[in-house]
Structure 1
Amino acid sequence: MDTIELEPKHIPVAGSADVVVAGGGPAGVCAAIAAAEAGADTLLIEEAGCLGGVWTSGALAWILDAEDKPSGTLLARIVRTLRRRGELEFAGDGTPAFNIEAMKALLDEFCMEAGVKIRCYTRVTSARRSADGAIACLVTESKSGCEAWRGRVFIDCTGDGDLGAAAGNPFELGDPREHRTQPMSLLALLTGLDAAQMRPYLIRRGNWDEAADRFAALLCEGDYRPSYRGVALFHLGNGLFMLMANHQYGYSGISAADLTAASIAARREIGRQVRILKTRGPAWENVRLVATGARIGVREGRRLAGRYCVTLDDVMNGRRHPDGICRVRFAIDVHALYPDGGCKLEDAPPKAEFYEIPLRALIAGEVPNLLMAGRCISGDFFAHASYRVTGNAAVTGEAAGVLAALAARNRVFPGNVDYKEVIQEMKK
């Protein structure tokens, strides 16, 4: 590879905080709000122009695995507030479906009310560690240039473990055999459809395969077949539908070139699918594509090594922990790694009704003041395919935020905080 030499430069320190959160998706916003409400001076850094991550920029207007989360969680508060404002309904299977613009505004509101300092349009690029191995500051790039941010405790909520990797914490990526990651999908929002007429094609609890097969038959034309076999149409309410009907195979979520290529291919395929639907009779002739996600949905990035690794065995056996902070019910949702299938979890024993994520899985293994929440917590390939969804990301984010605030308050590393204090604080 051709290289250039970049001259050493003095980077301005743009700010500091007790707790610095990298990534403003479901995990990051809940981490930041929880830390601030627990009394910590908190900074939230997000690369997009809005908070919410896949909920907003990614157009995933469903909160998956929101069940069985305590009523006092930030996630429950978000759901209650949106519902009270008429911006959320429960879909046919009980999943919360929300207005994306209302979610953006609400997350801004909650963060500002808690006193979180927000910096959008800013991406974490590197980290500097002190002699004891702790992160002294992280470095960002933005329209403001290259800047540094100091903190006592840092939380990686980037989804792909960007901060943890930059700080040198070990990680795993992909399946255990080939290190290949699950395919990406770009979500789309559709209007011009009647919910009653769409009922045979809509995804509801217990009917995914049947509805997907029926919908996929509509999308086939000539030699074209959807890249995703489990094509799905979801009703979000108020005449709005969410379409998930593409798989982009073989791309890496930690490669900008791959993300670009996958996004272009996905937009092309979605456009073709909508054009096909318009030819499928009166029920479909007015269908209109109103938006695709500003970012493609990445199912899998780095899994940062922590003090505990959530495993397939934990998932199958419903393992609980004294420091359990999040109960997970979601299925082991491994999307085939190749267009012809492969690396699905086949012939496995039934998953337990639920299992718990311990606080230890949120504490980095080799960087003492680093926590992680959301997709990049410590777990294996198959467990990750279950806990990765947004309801669990939000709750792990809240736990990480509380732990970070307690560590900063007591001037200790997070691993030295009694987990009972975290659980007690989360119950307030």
Structure 2
Amino acid sequence: MSRKLIVDVLVCGGGSAGIVAALAAARNGAETLVVEKAPFAGGIITATGLPFFDGIAHAETHEVVVRGIPFEIGVRMGLCQPGDTHIRPHNPRIRNIEKFKLLTDELLTSRPNLQVLYHTSVCDVKADGGRIRHVMIANKDGLVTVEAKQIIDATGDGDVAAWSGSEVDKNDPLMPMTMHFRVGHVHARKGLGSEAREHLLRAQDRGELPMFYGPAIMFAFAKDEAYFHAIRVAGDGTDAADLTRAEIQGRKDAWTIFRILKTNLPEFADSYFIGSGPFIGIRETRRLVGQYVMTEDDALTSRHFDDAVATGCWYLDVHPNTTTLGSANDTERVQPSPYDIPYRALLSKDVSNLAVAGRCHSATALAASSTRVNVTAMAMGEAAGTAAALAVEANDELGQLDGTKVRERLEFVNAGPTR
């Protein structure tokens, strides 16, 4: 017999969006549960190993565009100061991912009305009459039924949205996945990336390496530790067999790159493989088709929305399923000015007590290539969590709330849209 949990707000996923959604809901008084499949929170930062706080400030002006809980996290990590209005670089680097894990643990256990369950996956959704009745989760306790008044899908893949009967979309082809990895005892020097590129191209010609990009070899954590953005694996992160294949291929490619560079470049002669991310990095899978579908034109024209609840600023970051040399993208970089993300772009048009935050929110594929980065996802999470608590407080539904009221509550705590 399965156990049952009853809460006000259930947050599915403890990544960038989910952490902040759970904190916002709890700080606004809701009994909140957040569940996460990994043994830690943090999403792409901790589970994949991407250390950049992308989306907190605009690339050209360096103006801070996200405040509230995401900015608070940045301050706690030493990435910015409380009074900062501009940040250089615009995407500050988290130099200690283990410290970030500790901070998220502390935040998610900081309030008596907030519970976190790691090692816990959402496995089923029961919905009828345009409302989610309960969500099934699985962990060491077995199957657990969670009855929540309001639900936030922060899974990244739109699992809850899809399983609830909400309309979702998926691009074809999907952007490739990337396995991040780190190599120690590397001697940094100018031009190392371009020389590495030549050796990787030869390996590709020999059939040893399917495809790659860059490679971007960054000394993000220590002066003798190389952090690689280089691997591309095509596939669908919502297909279990495809995802398994991608994880296996990603690790194989990481070791292939390491061995090629260790053999051919003196700067890698004494190097050693530190490790790859616990999970492969997924750029896109399902996207909600919600009450409003945000478009790339909305971003590029900085369209104003009365129900704006967050601000985005990242460039249209599209990765192709091909090798691209020296760059992640095969198109010219398009950089918008800061733009609004409307509340309706977080809402299912089919299920009244569901909001979606993070890269699976309601947007076109091109728009989502900008909104998918982690601080923008955090900002959406704060909006969704705040709205969920407001809905509970008013005995209302997420899908029925006035977005301007959500924005006003966010602005009251110095969060929400900044443009």
The question of a shared fold, defined as TM-score above 0.5 by the shorter chain, is answered with yes
CA contact (8 A) 1:127 1:167 kept: yes
Q: Secondary structure at the match of 1:96?
A: coil
CA contact (8 A) 1:317 1:351 kept: no
Does the alignment pair 1:139 with 2:136? yes
Structure 1, unaligned runs of 5 or more? 1-9, 202-210
Identity of aligned residues (%): 30
The within-5 A match list for 1:49-64 is 49-64=39-54
Q: Secondary structure at the match of 1:230?
A: strand
Which residue of 67, 71, 74 corresponds with 2:69?
A: 74
CA contact (8 A) 1:134 1:368 kept: yes
The within-5 A match list for 1:23-422 is 23-67=13-57, 68-70=63-65, 72-83=67-78, 94-115=91-112, 116-130=114-128, 132-174=129-171, 179-194=172-187, 197-201=188-192, 213-222=194-203, 223=206, 224=208, 227-239=211-223, 240-249=225-234, 251-338=235-322, 350-422=334-406
Residues in 2 aligned to 1:232 and 1:155: alpha-carbon distance in whole angstroms: 35
Aligned-residue offset at 1:75: 1.2
Q: Secondary structure at the match of 1:375?
A: coil
Aligned-residue offset at 1:226: 6.4
CA contact (8 A) 1:40 1:405 kept: yes
C-alpha distance 403-172 of structure 1, shift in aligned 2 (>3 A): same
The within-5 A match list for 1:14-25 is 15-25=5-15
Residues in 1 aligned to 2:226 and 2:309: alpha-carbon distance in whole angstroms: 33
Q: Secondary structure at the match of 1:276?
A: helix
Q: Secondary structure at the match of 1:219?
A: helix
Letter in 2 for 1:136: R
Aligned-residue offset at 1:291: 1.4
Residues in 2 aligned to 1:268 and 1:391: alpha-carbon distance in whole angstroms: 30
CA contact (8 A) 2:351 2:399 kept: no
Aligned-residue offset at 1:97: 2.6
Q: Secondary structure at the match of 2:352?
A: coil
CA contact (8 A) 2:181 2:227 kept: yes
CA contact (8 A) 1:228 1:246 kept: yes
Aligned-residue offset at 1:272: 1.2
Q: TM-score, normalised by structure 1?
A: 0.86
Residues in 1 aligned to 2:90 and 2:397: alpha-carbon distance in whole angstroms: 42
Q: TM-score, normalised by structure 2?
A: 0.87
Aligned-residue offset at 1:266: 1.1
Aligned-residue offset at 1:337: 3.2
Residues in 2 aligned to 1:93 and 1:227: alpha-carbon distance in whole angstroms: 29
CA contact (8 A) 1:375 1:388 kept: yes
Letter in 2 for 1:236: A
Letter in 1 for 2:217: L
C-alpha distance 394-198 of structure 1, shift in aligned 2 (>3 A): farther
Residues in 2 aligned to 1:187 and 1:346: alpha-carbon distance in whole angstroms: 22
Residues in 2 aligned to 1:254 and 1:190: alpha-carbon distance in whole angstroms: 30
Letter in 1 for 2:103: L
Q: Secondary structure at the match of 2:304?
A: coil
1:324-357: CA deviation from partner (whole Å, max 9, x where unpaired): 222222111111135599xx88589x55323221
Aligned-residue offset at 1:364: 1.1
1:227-251: CA deviation from partner (whole Å, max 9, x where unpaired): 12332122223334321111112x1
Q: Secondary structure at the match of 1:64?
A: coil
C-alpha distance 93-156 of structure 1, shift in aligned 2 (>3 A): closer
Aligned-residue offset at 1:62: 1.5
Residues in 1 aligned to 2:281 and 2:265: alpha-carbon distance in whole angstroms: 30
Residues in 1 aligned to 2:259 and 2:332: alpha-carbon distance in whole angstroms: 38
Residues in 2 aligned to 1:318 and 1:345: alpha-carbon distance in whole angstroms: 24
- How many residues align structurally? 394
User: Which region of structure 1 is more displaced relative to structure 2, 41-50 or 136-145?
Assistant: 136-145
Residues in 1 aligned to 2:178 and 2:197: alpha-carbon distance in whole angstroms: 16
Structure 2, unaligned runs of 5 or more? 58-62, 82-86, 414-419
